[in-house]
Structure 1
Amino acid sequence: MSAHTPGELWWAAKSVDATRPFLTSYDPATDVRVEMSFATFDNWVAKTANMLVDGLGALPGDTVALALPLHWQSLAWTVACWVTGTTVVLAEADIPEADVVVADASRVDAALASGAREVVGASLHPLGLPMDDCPPAATDYTQEARGYGDVFAPPKGDPQAAALVHGGRSWTGGELADRGRDAARLGKLTAEDRVAIITSDHAPLAALGDDLSKFLGVLSAASSLVLIPSRDSTTLQSRLDMERVTAVVGDFPSPLPPQASYRSLP
């Protein structure tokens, strides 16, 4: 049965084989490599969703502003919002109005001044360690989330409800599910693909597209994702080969080599 919301895209993707690698990331600051299976990532999604609902009192339709760069923690928050029926708001330089704001250390003070009902600080540590100095008025994401359940029973998703707000535009869950399917079809993605997202350090979530369609395409195809900071072309090519990447998204420092085994996605 076709998924009608981005939350349903995730449930369908993980059901293919939860033991497969889903997300591999290289930390821009330390180069630490972290690999998560669909099951491990889903564990973080469930803990985050339970924290969002039971700890922060979020209800379907509430807005959650993500003042975070592209990172496995921000992706876990994105999917957690979608499975709980809350609306993801992508923050730019300023913190937008929202019921809940999730911010990294550089923006947590601005989040506290935004008037949000709840503020969460995210460490962005590659291994999920707590923040070094989380303000008392904010909730430390990874420290708090560990105490919540590993399973989340999602409410029935409403494909007509707002699921994403960015740049003055709003997309419903149904629209995002359609965009995910379109991205997978155009990229000819399958569950066998490993899609590398090549970004600059501290790239925004919108590096996945204004509508996050590059991420939604991966979910729609049940592909796996590799987050690789842009480096010199030799190092980057070595990592792409080591990770057995089949498709790349982003700016490669030089033209793809003729012998490359991966393709460039739109």
Structure 2
Amino acid sequence: MNATDRTPADLLSSALAADPGRPLVTFYDDATGERVELSVATFANWVAKTANLLQDELSVEPGDRVTLLLPAHWQTAVWLLACASVGVVADVCGDPSAADVVVSGPEPESLEAARACSGPRVALALRPLGGRFPQAPEGFADYAVEVPGQGDRFVPYAPVAPEEPTLIVAGREFSGAEVVDRARAEAPDLGLTGPGSRILSGLPYDTWEGLNAGLYAPLATGGSVVLCRNVDRLDADALDKRVESERVTVIAR
């Protein structure tokens, strides 16, 4: 991180310049046994491809709204940073009918709600290793089919202004600068003290607290996150073993 970083995309760029090989997001789904570890470089590559998909294929423009009907997941984190890179607003669990684009998980209720969006609809299977649907839901583009062919580098058509909105969560709107400033300010309270800090988060992504612990604060401090979905399925011994094996320094649940 650099003191001059003013948007979430700036934070990722600084992390990539500082140490591209270090882990950034390690994801567990304790309902399926999935584990995925993404280095800064791998995560940034997914972000670049997704940003290119948004800008070139879905034709979004700065200020447009992208509703994310997604759980706490590594691919959700990718979409949040891709939206910030393009300059569009990521509306987490927002109203699809008010969105220019909607991105849905595979759950039937999520897909049904997403149909209220009159613009492009993208569906994520959320399968291990970013796998595709056996058959894409009708009326949706399959993210895992569309994203691999996108470019590995992203350049926005227009500079992203830090003071413009970048995130809506739980009805609260944040500019890019507010996300960065608040993430930095709250990181010490989470126990994130700088590079080497590693937080295990089992919090959902539908609140600022969950997004901050599960993405923004680790990114803002040069740390990393072990993002755990369905972590309540672990008993105390299994959780302790994960904390030890992943070298976790702090837990947010």
- TM, length-normalised to structure 2: 0.90
CA distance in 2, matches of 1:115, 1:242: 43
Change (3 A) 1:97 1:28: farther
Q: CA deviation at 1:181?
A: 1.1
CA distance in 2, matches of 1:14, 1:168: 31
Q: 2:251 matched to which residue of 1? A: 248
CA distance in 1, matches of 2:16, 2:219: 9
CA distance in 2, matches of 1:21, 1:86: 27
Which structure 2 residues correspond to residues 72-83 of structure 1 after superposition, within 5 A? 72-83=74-85
Q: 2:114 matched to which residue of 1? A: 111
Give the letter aligned to residue 161 of structure 1. Answer: E
9, 12, 16: which one pairs with 1:10? 12
Contact 2:102/2:117 (8 A) holds in 1: no
Q: CA deviation at 1:31?
A: 0.9
Which structure 2 residues correspond to residues 1-266 of structure 1 after superposition, within 5 A? 1-91=3-93, 95=96, 97-106=98-107, 107-112=110-115, 114-154=116-156, 155-186=158-189, 187-199=191-203, 204-206=204-206, 209=209, 212-214=211-213, 215-228=215-228, 229-230=231-232, 231-250=234-253
CA distance in 2, matches of 1:126, 1:193: 26
CA distance in 2, matches of 1:181, 1:216: 8
Cα deviation code 1:116-159 (max 9, x no counterpart):
31100001112111023322321101111001011112442211
CA distance in 2, matches of 1:185, 1:11: 22
Q: CA deviation at 1:69?
A: 0.2
Contact 1:160/1:173 (8 A) holds in 2: yes
CA distance in 2, matches of 1:76, 1:66: 11
CA distance in 1, matches of 2:79, 2:9: 12
Give the letter aligned to residue 9 of structure 2. Answer: G
Give the letter aligned to residue 58 of structure 2. Answer: L
Contact 2:105/2:125 (8 A) holds in 1: yes
Give the letter aligned to residue 167 of structure 1. Answer: A
Runs (4+) of structure 1 moved beyond 4 Å? none
130-139 or 50-59, which deviates more: 130-139
RMSD: 1.7
Contact 1:123/1:132 (8 A) holds in 2: no
Among the aligned pairs, what percent are the same residue?
Answer: 37
Change (3 A) 1:126 1:238: same
Give the letter aligned to residue 225 of structure 1. Answer: V
Cα deviation code 1:152-205 (max 9, x no counterpart):
124422111111112322111111111111122433421111111124xxxx41
5+ long unaligned stretches in structure 2? none
Cα deviation code 1:71-96 (max 9, x no counterpart):
0111100010011101010116x645
Cα deviation code 1:6-53 (max 9, x no counterpart):
221221122210011111111233112111110111111011000011
Change (3 A) 1:125 1:242: same
CA distance in 2, matches of 1:9, 1:173: 11
CA distance in 2, matches of 1:2, 1:206: 28
Contact 1:7/1:157 (8 A) holds in 2: no
Give the letter aligned to residue 71 of structure 2. Answer: P
CA distance in 1, matches of 2:65, 2:49: 18
